[in-house]
Amino acid sequence: MLITGAELADGRVRDVRVRDGTVDAVEPTNAGLDADAGERVVDARGRHLLPGAVDAHVHFREPGASHKETWTSGSRGAAAGGVTTVVDQPNTSPPTVDGDAFDEKADLAAPSLVDYGINGGVTADWDPESLFECPLFALGEVFLADSTGEMGIALDLFEEALAEAAARDVPVTVHAEDETLFDESALDGDLGGVGTAANADAWSAYRTAEAEAAAVERALDAGAESDAQVHVAHTSTPEGIDAVVEAREGATGDAPPTCEVTPHHLFLSREDAGRLGTFGRMNPPLRSEERRAGVFRRLRDGDVDVVATDHAPHTVAEKRRGLVDAPSGVPGVETLYPLLLESVRKGNLSLERVRDVVAANPASIFGIEGKGRIEPGADADLVLVDMTNPREIEAGALHGAADWTPFEGLLGVFPELTTVRGEVVYERDPVTGAESFGEPAGRNVRER
């Protein structure tokens, strides 16, 4: 495939040749890259070519909850959103805490359209021996408080997990909330019953910002103590991000701590909680508009290392159970690039910053070879977008199994073409809107 006249994130206009699944050449237009007989030529003039996103945090729900999502449905959403690598989290059923559970999940991941990594989890029943024999992506998310799957663990087990991971140079992704600092009184009173529009603001009042900051500090201290590479998942507060930045600046080892934020904490706040009802319930919860703006600023200014989605689909019926009984989590893998690119279009973020936080940084933090960059020799994981053509996000037009999105009605810049190692996994005709998907092309990025 020859892609001609595309603008890269840094503003250079280039022709890009794809051969045998990798980027073969990146040359100025008219510098002599001519199409071979029978080679597909993509005229990309007026379009941007970006590295496929590496979503370091998804929950594709298999095994155990395939009614919420499968590797097929989840990876279709990923492909249509320009995500070419996903990292699946361990709170499935059974949880991915030993070699057998890992192998079971690896078999289920085979139909994935996009490349993937599989994380190993930590519970009292975990078996580090058999787990670390598998081609694990990372340890985590390790839950310092209960979330979906009730995998919250105590500090001593967390320290044990850090030691095991550090001994093998495996990074550890941490869900950092301290449940002793939750405000139980926020859940007193009438929160709306099953099927009613409960206000998710009570959830935000319950799982406090202080609970996150305290747990982030604890995770960072324990990480430094054990020399483990700690990645703080879905940081939802400026305080949490600042703690990571401070620890990073003071770090002495070769694997400084990093942090990730989600699109929902960047684009939604407690001001949306009333409108969203239980569909706005997730862990950590939506924060005040002031904190949301602070998180966004830290993304813009370079303090945030990664934007990942914490794609956590549940069915509409499950979300309608009422605030206390509805499961936590929102889908998001398909809207990651679109929402961030819309921020670029509006002038709120630079395109290079977006490229770094969704592609280059996650690839380098987690040591994924060949991903996250468009350069000769890299995997041809490519996304073509028309930055002048946003469209409204509508649940009905998305491809995951959840029939809803918390971002309904917001604008997004969606891909026209997505490739995984040179295979077209998604394509949309910009004129007719007709869409097509490729064959399952995904493989485990730790098995190269």
User: Is 169 in the active site?
Assistant: no
From Zn ion, ligand NCD, none, interface partner of 282 (C-beta below 5 to 8 A by class): ligand NCD
**147 is a site residue for ligand NCD (CB under 6 A):** yes
Q: According to DSSP H, which parts of 152-283 are helical?
A: 155-167, 201-206, 209-226, 238-250, 263-267, 273-276
Judged by CB under 6 A, which stretch of 105-113, 115-123, 140-148, 396-404 contacts ligand NCD? Answer: 140-148
Contacting Zn ion within 48-107 (CB under 5 A): none
Binding mask of the shown chain, residues 405 to 444, with x at each position contacting ligand NCD by CB under 6 A: ----------------------------------------
Structure tokens, 376: 């000769």
Q: Which is nearer to ligand NCD, 404 or 426 (CB)?
A: 404
Nearest residue to 310 via CA among 123, 124, 447, 143: 143
Give backbone dihedrals phi and psi of 354, rounded to 5 degrees, phi first.
-60, -45
Instruction: Give the alpha-carbon dihedral of 398, 403, 407, 409, to 10 degrees.
Output: 80
As beta bridge partners, residue 159 has none
156 annotated to a ligand binding site: no
**175 is a site residue for Zn ion (CB under 5 A):** yes
Binding mask of the shown chain, residues 275 to 314, with x at each position contacting ligand NCD by CB under 6 A: -------xx--------------------------x-x--
234 annotated to a ligand binding site: yes
**148 is a site residue for ligand NCD (CB under 6 A):** yes
What count of Cα atoms within 13 Å lies in the side-chain half-sphere of residue 202? 17
Q: Helices (H), strands (E): how many in the chain? A: 14, 19
**Is 225:253 a contact under the CB 8 Å cutoff?**
no
48 annotated to a ligand binding site: no
**Helix/strand/coil percentages in the chain, nearest 5:** 35, 20, 50
Q: Which is nearer to ligand NCD, 7 or 260 (CB)?
A: 260
15, 98, 178, 310: which one is catalytic?
Answer: 310
Give backbone dihedrals phi and psi of 428, rounded to 5 degrees, phi first.
-130, 130
The type of residue at 115 is: D
The distance of closest approach from Cβ of residue 320 to ligand NCD in the complex, given in angstroms and rounded to an integer, is 16
141 annotated to a ligand binding site: yes
Among 75, 309, 328, 335, binds ligand NCD (CB under 6 A): 328
Residues in contact with ligand NCD, counted by CB under 6 A, come to a total of 12
The type of residue at 352 is: E
Q: Which is nearer to ligand NCD, 141 or 427 (CB)?
A: 141
Q: Which is nearer to ligand NCD, 180 or 252 (CB)?
A: 180
From Zn ion, ligand NCD, none, interface partner of 272 (C-beta below 5 to 8 A by class): none
Q: Provide CB contacts within 8 A for 283, sequence distance 6+.
A: 145, 147, 148, 175, 177, 207, 328, 329
Which residues does the annotation mark as catalytic? 310
Applying CB under 6 A, the residues found at the interface with ligand NCD are 59, 91, 141, 147-148, 175, 282-283, 310, 312, 328-329
